[in-house]
Amino acid sequence: YSHWKGQVLTADELHVLYEGIKLNNVHQYDYVLTGYTRDTSFLEMVVDIVQELKRANPNLVYVCDPVLGDHGSMYVPQNLYPVYKNKVVPVADIITPNQFEAELLTGKNISSQKDAVEVMDLLHAMGPDTVVITSSDLPPRLGDRFLVSLGSQRHVRPDGSRTTQRVRIEVPKVDAVFVGTGDLFAAMLLAWTHHYPNDLKTACEKTFSVMHHVIQRTISYAHELAGPGRRPSPPQLELRMIQSKADIEDPAIVTEATVIS
């Protein structure tokens, strides 16, 4: 959009909201989800709140989309990077970086699937048990109209030993710019890992299939509004979320994940 209004929420404002929630004794949460943030103190307050909530409920799952940038450049202030790396990622249970963000957080470049696995292992070592690299520049096996995403999930067996499931999934590219797909992805991964906590393959297939259905419905509608030969505008490309309710609840699987070593 050409114009937008609003404020960047500060740590103090977040703290006041959280205090209100606590005063009413409605701060029993199973999940916390965070995405795009521009303020370091806000992010640090999120970490404090997550730690407090985890003390009250050790089973709480914190899902973090570490929004830092894409395609080699940051689109948040640089001082957010050390906060994510040193404070946020260590308390997160599930993270959903893109390739650029995963490389930034680990200091390691991804130029092969082996590199991606090593980066996901480094991210595990920082704290999260589930890592999904939402998009990468790796060459797709299905052709250049697809994007490669990868996921990794650590499990602790009853005897205390660890096992890791890693998956690769290729998703069709769409020639348009959408706003909110990262938020939708993180929300869907939260929902489907809730239903399949020990099966990353199925959780990813469900998540990416929801994304496919929502995006296809959106792009079809946008082209219809724009008319023949015209490129849809941002308002026409608003995600068709309500219209996709049935697909969000029970998506037909259109993208299958491959288990990799």
Q: What are the residue numbers of the active site?
A: 183
Burial readout 53-87 (b: 16 or more C-beta within 10 A, e: otherwise): bbeeeeebbbbbbbbbbeeeeeebeeebbebbbeb
CA distance 183 to 181: 5
- Whether residue 103 contacts residue 193, with contact meaning beta carbons closer than 8 Å, is answered with no
Nearest Cα to Cα of residue 151 among 227, 204, 202? 204
CA distance 45 to 24: 20
Structure tokens at 16: 């006041």
CA distance 247 to 207: 10
CA distance 168 to 17: 40
Tokens 């993270």 locate to: 95
For 19, residues 6+ apart whose C-beta sits below 8 A from its C-beta are none
- Whether residue 93 contacts residue 132, with contact meaning beta carbons closer than 8 Å, is answered with no
